[in-house]
Amino acid sequence: MTIELDLRDEFAVLRINRPEALNALSFSLIGDIGEAIDRAGASDARALIVTGAGEKSFCAGADIKELMDRPLAEQKRGAELGQAVFSRLDRLRIPSVALVNGYAFGGGCELALACTFRLASPNARFGLPEIKLGLIPGYGGTQRLPRLIGEARALELIMTGRTANAEEALRLGLVNRIVEPPLLDAAFAFAREFSSHGLLALQFAREAVQRAASTTLAEGLRAEADLSTLAYRTADAEEGMKAFIEKRKPVFKDT
Smallest gap from Cβ 53 to ligand CAA, in A, equals 13
Beta carbon nearer to ligand CAA, 64 or 148: 64
Residue 130 known to be catalytic: yes
Check 20, 66, 74, 110 and give the catalytic one: 110
Residue 201's Cα: distance from chain center in Å? 19
Residue 180 known to be catalytic: no
How many CB atoms are closer than 10 A to CB 224? 17
Beta carbon nearer to ligand CAA, 82 or 250: 82
Beta carbon nearer to ligand CAA, 84 or 209: 84
Smallest gap from Cβ 86 to ligand CAA, in A, equals 10
Beta carbon nearer to ligand CAA, 18 or 46: 18
Q: Which residues bind ligand CAA (CB under 6 A)?
A: 21-22, 24, 60-65, 82, 103, 105-107, 110, 129-130, 133, 137-139, 141
Q: Three-state SS across 181-231? A: CCHHHHHHHHHCCCCCCCHHHHHHHHHHHHHHCCCCHHHHHHHHHHHHHHH
**Hey, is 104 helix, strand or coil?**
strand
9: left (phi over 0), alpha (psi -120 to 50) or beta: left
Smallest gap from Cβ 84 to ligand CAA, in A, equals 13
Cβ contact 129:107 at 8 Å = no
CA distance 238 to 215: 30
Q: Give percent helix, percent strand, percent coil of the chain, each to the nearest 5.
A: 50, 15, 30
Question: Closest-CB residue for ligand CAA?
Answer: 106
Sign of CA pseudo-dihedral 127, 37, 63, 1: positive
Smallest gap from Cβ 138 to ligand CAA, in A, equals 4
Check 10, 130, 219, 239 and give the catalytic one: 130
Beta carbon nearer to ligand CAA, 61 or 95: 61
CA distance 61 to 189: 27
Smallest gap from Cβ 35 to ligand CAA, in A, equals 19
> CB-based contacts of 159: which residues, under 8 Å, 6+ apart?
131
CA distance 174 to 116: 11
The residues that are catalytic are 110, 130
